Structure 1
Amino acid sequence: MQHDIAYDTAAGSQSITRAIGRVISPIAFLPADAAEFFTPVNTNKNWLSGEGKRLFDLAIALPLLIVLAPLLAAIALAVRLETKGPALFRQTRSGMCGRPFKIFKFRTMTVQEDGASVVQAREADPRVTRLGAFLRRYSLDELPQLLNVILGDMSLVGPRPHAMAHDDFYQSRISEYRHRFAAKPGMTGWAQVNGLRGPTPALEQMTSRVSHDVFYVRRASFSFDLKVLLSTPIEIIRPRNAV
């Protein structure tokens, strides 16, 4: 009888695990080590969710935040002087295993969308301020995300987080989309250094970006992160598709 109960429990546990693995939507209540449910997982899982990547992030993000503090203060002041509203923009996004978090950015628009309807920025978008266009072109609006990295919501390298409304839209249309949640979202990523940034008016554009994200999730390592970080300044200098 005990053997039957143990067998039923094990079988039930396996069924639950398989069911979770088939879920498309991000699962906000999963523990930090639940990235394995979002198969295919990285062959070096210890880097994706381990202490090494966290220490690597802090070793770079903390000094960088200190060094860039005068620049961040100057940008914040310029944003406040150009248009009414806060210098920082916060929006809910999905993190590792689908956990929601508030992302920090310099405000570049005259609107602050966050919720069920978020419209992507597009070429010559009238919502983007003059200063905002410059900040977005050279990704300076993303610098406050160093705080997200220090807080542990993000990593320096990983899939770029999207607005939750966009997650809902794309995860039902791109089969690989959920695999992005096996890693912390990043300030930069493999897709971005390959020119896959900016608006995605066609589904094929987002599909290509997601394929690069999944490629990273499968192969993330110290050397891969270093390669992406060293490639990022080059991509910023020659901004492709940035709006």
Structure 2
Amino acid sequence: MTPQRIRPYGGPPAWQRKYFAGIIGSDIAAGIVGAGLAFLARFGHLDHHSRVYVLAIVALPAVWIAALGLSRAFEKRYLFVGTEEYQRILNAAVALTAAVAIVSYGLELPTSRVFVLIAIPTAASCSIIARFAWRKWLHRMRRGGRCMKRVVLVGHESSVAALIVQLRREHYHGLNVVAACLPTERPQGALLDFDTRVRGSFDRIAEAVAAERADTVIVLSCPEIDGQALRRLAWKLERSEVDLIVASALVDVAGDRTTVRPVDGLPMLHLDHARLTGVRRLAKDAVDRVGAAMLLLALAPLLLGAALLIRCTSPGPALFKQERIGKDGQPFTIWKFRTMHVDAERRLEAIAHLNEGDGVLFKMRDDPRITKVGKYLRRFSIDEFPQLVNVLRGDMSLVGPRPPLAAEVAAYEADMRRRLAVKPGMTGLWQVSGRSDLPWEEAVRLDLRYVEHWNLSLDFVILLRTVTAILRPQGAY
């Protein structure tokens, strides 16, 4: 791999400039596609009535870029990870639609509602899809160690070590820790257990940034660095264009649930409760049931074909049902396509010692109880599709924590029961982060993160990532 030239000073690195140019070009193309498609749908050909809309085709890309800029969809803090970027694109679409309606009404312009209602949603959809594709490209680069930021961590050794573990596990954040500054003086160049160089104590942060050519400093929560020390550090870094990030002691708390409220110059972090109630709950239920109904209709031939294959190749029913635990600990019957022989439970005792899982569920890559057809159904998660009926009935959601067995819930510690605060899902963070390859603790952590972070934008991203996870067989067994 060719080493990348780092430019901590004098502007953003080359990969970041390429990324920004890519999303701006994609958004311009999205505006052109939206306007062109709306023109064809509304008029079909050019005549004296439609010539004015040719100007709209030319103007919409620029107007769309301006709307995205006003909604702050290009700000670096919202790019690369998270769902806020997509939410701001949707905000831009809503605001632009409202602005066009107000201007058309105020100036009495003969604006075609069909044109507007096709052009703007199409542009927004294309922008979201394009940015998702750019983000997948970036994450692929980061898996190979490219397009990374060089980070100096500041904090106590235990906190530094914990964050290094998390950042190496979640490489898509693009934060490569190259050095650390600890509160107590240690020999220059001493290494932590994670091959991370120590560059002195807290008073040597600026020198560490220069020595390591870092472009980011992350300050972890520690009493030695108060507001005055942090302000002085910001002054030292402000001309070098080095990002300064202050990590809160709050773990796995959604950004949209935290607001800063200054009190006499002291920034107070206000934390809202993670509640799925009111309009949010109704919106999620509506998306779930409408989505499940549409998918059942679209996938009906595939479901029928899978059922016939199971019946023709293996004795027993096509469907497998099992009791799982849902929201608030309520049991329900989950439906799946049967992928194992009918005597699978009896055979389990003979192979129990081959369990590769570290939780309650039995996991084995080459489980002899799985039928030939069942292997293909599991590989592409087709065996899960009957759960659309569970979603339609209200037992499950399209996106949520993995539906647990009663035996799992009985072994839950207090924190784990938080998974039961929402409906279980057909897919979730666990599904798009490794499926059966995930350790038990990691699957639980991802489910808890989902409960704390839930919003419709996150559900949309998980559903998109589920498509790629299904097409990729890793972890499907």
| TM-score, normalised with respect to structure 2 | 0.38
Measured in 2, the distance between the counterparts of 1:229 and 1:222 equals 11
Structure 1 residue 237 corresponds to structure 2 residue 476: no
2:382 is aligned with 1:140: yes
- Is the 1:42–1:219 contact (alpha carbons within 8 Å) kept by the matching residues of 2? no
Aligned counterpart in structure 1 of residue 408 of structure 2, from 150, 159, 166: 166
Question: Which residue number corresponds to residue 56 of structure 1?
Answer: 287
Aligned to 1:198, the other structure's residue is in SS state helix
In the other structure, the counterpart of 2:304 is: 73
Residue 90 of structure 1: aligned partner: 321
Whether 1:186 aligns to 2:441 is no
Which residue number in structure 1 is paired with residue 440 of structure 2? Answer: 206
What is the root-mean-square deviation in Å for CA atoms of aligned residues? 2.4
Percent sequence identity over aligned pairs: 44
Picking from 225, 232, 240, the partner of 2:459 is 225
Counterpart of 2:383 in 1: which secondary structure? Answer: helix
Asked if the contact 2:276/2:422 (under 8 Å) is kept, the reply is no
User: Could you tell me how far apart the structure 2 residues matched to 1:84 and 1:50 are?
Assistant: 42
For residues 47 and 121 of structure 1, do their structure 2 counterparts lie closer, same or farther at Cα, with a shift above 3 Å needed? farther
Change (3 A) 1:42 1:160: farther
Matches of 1:146 and 1:82 in 2, distance apart? 24
Amino acid at match of 2:283: G
Query: Matched residue pairs, number?
Result: 194
| Superposed displacement of residue 165, structure 1 | 2.1
Separation in 2 of the partners of 1:104 and 1:229?
Answer: 20
Structure 1 gap segments, 5+ residues each: 1-39
Q: CA deviation at 1:162?
A: 2.2
Match of 1:231, SS state, is helix
Aligned equivalent of 2:71: none
AA in 2 matched with 1:224: L
Aligned amino acid, residue 90 of structure 1: K
Instruction: State the shift of 1:58 in Å.
Output: 1.4
Q: Which residue of 399, 405, 411 maps to 1:157?
A: 399
Instruction: Give me the whole-angstrom Cα distance separating, in 2, the residues matched to 1:143 and 1:209.
Output: 21
Residues 100-139 of structure 1 aligned to structure 2 (within 5 Å): 100-110=331-341, 111=343, 113=345, 120-139=362-381
Unaligned runs of 5+ in 2: 1-270, 350-359
Which has the bigger relative contact order, CA under 8 A and spacing at least 6? Answer: 1
Deviates more, 1:104-113 or 1:64-73: 104-113
Alpha-carbon contact 1:47-1:53 (below 8 Å) kept: no
Contact 1:189–1:228 (Cα < 8 Å) also in 2: yes
Q: How far apart are 1:44 and its partner, in Å?
A: 4.6
The alignment partner of 1:45 has SS state of coil
Give the deviation of 1:144 after TM superposition.
0.2
Q: After TM superposition, give the deviation of residue 45 of structure 1 in Å.
A: 2.2
Counterpart residue number, 1:23: none
Q: 1:240–1:126: structure 2 CA closer, same or farther, 3 Å change rule? A: same
Deviations 1:147-181 (A, max 9, x none): 00000000000001122223324x14xx5321100
* TM-score, scaled relative to structure 1: 0.74
Contact 1:47–1:220 (CA under 8 A) maintained in structure 2? no
How far apart are 1:217 and its partner, in Å?
0.1
SS in 2 for 1:156: strand
Cα gap change, 1:137/1:230 in structure 2, threshold over 3 Å: closer, same or farther? same
**Distance in 2 between the 1:49 and 1:184 partners?**
14
For residue 48 of structure 1, report the CA deviation from its aligned partner.
Answer: 9.6
